[in-house]
Amino acid sequence: MPALVLPLVEAVTRWPARGALVGLDLGTKTIGVAVSDPDRRLATAVETVKRKAFKADEARYLDRFPLTQEQRDAILNREYNRMLELGGNIYFTAKLGATDGYSFQHIAAIMTGSTQEDYAKMMLAGGRSVEGNRSRSGLELPGKSEKGKKAKGKKAKAKVEAKAKKSKSKLRSGKKAGSKRG
């Protein structure tokens, strides 16, 4: 059975209450591997892998990890957007790009289909619009009806408005926004 890849906030809900965890620190020259104690209070370094070992034979190096064939292909072919779709994160893609000698700006330009110069201009001008970009996250998935999308949008909007109203009320009463004290 292929490994389940989840965002960290979802993965943590599936972990047992106790037990050691493995952590990876993807540095620019090395990859640090650490293991926590069963109570997860202290992590101890186990191994430091040189990035050169990864670059020497990437496919063989990836055999060490429970990746699906799609995940392996996305990494080996440097399909950064596909990596994210398959459960990777932007931190991983940036570190992989750094392993290849590229800046984050270079990777982001590739991911957005623009040149580095155009990407930099866009970010300096305030970034790209939410419409047609970040707001599409997950909407193309099966089972996401228009009715469900509208209901979710209304619920999120109501939550934001309620939070804003609460902050304004606290400001009027002399309390700091977000503070639980008077």
Is residue 166 domain-resident? Answer: no
Is residue 56 domain-resident? Answer: yes
Give the domain extent around 24. Answer: 8-128
Domain CATH code at residue 103 = 1.10.700.10
Kindly list the strands in the beta sheet with 22-26, ordered across the sheet, starting from the edge strand earlier in the chain: 22-26, 30-36, 43-50
Task: Report the distance separating Cα 26 and Cα 93, nearest Å.
Answer: 10
Task: Report the distance separating Cα 112 and Cα 42, nearest Å.
Answer: 39
Q: For residue 30, what pLDDT is reported?
A: 78
Is residue 97 domain-resident? Answer: yes
Overall pTM surpassing 0.75 (yes/no): no
Is residue 171 domain-resident? Answer: no
DSSP-derived secondary structure for 103-115: -HHHHHHHHHTS-
Q: For residue 181, what pLDDT is reported?
A: 46
Number of independent structural domains in the chain: 1
Is residue 140 domain-resident? Answer: no
Q: For residue 104, what pLDDT is reported?
A: 87
Is residue 175 domain-resident? Answer: no
Residue pair 76/59 in contact (Cβ under 8 Å)? The answer is yes
The CA angle 123-126-129, to the nearest 5 degrees, is: 95
Quickly tell me which residue has 């570190």 as its tokens: 95
Is residue 62 domain-resident? Answer: yes
With CA atoms as reference, report the closest residue to 31 among 47, 55, 8. 47
Per-residue confidence of the chain (182 residues) as pLDDT tens digits?
A: 455 566 777 777 877 787 776 676 777 677 777 777 888 788 787 767 777 788 889 999 888 888 889 999 999 999 988 888 888 878 788 888 888 888 888 988 888 888 989 988 988 888 877 665 543 444 444 444 455 445 556 666 666 676 666 655 555 555 544 444 44
Q: For residue 62, what pLDDT is reported?
A: 87
Q: For residue 69, what pLDDT is reported?
A: 92
Q: How many CB atoms lie under 10 A from the CB of residue 150?
A: 10
Q: What does R_g of the chain's alpha carbons equal in angstroms?
A: 21
Give the amino acid at 176: K
Is residue 17 domain-resident? Answer: yes
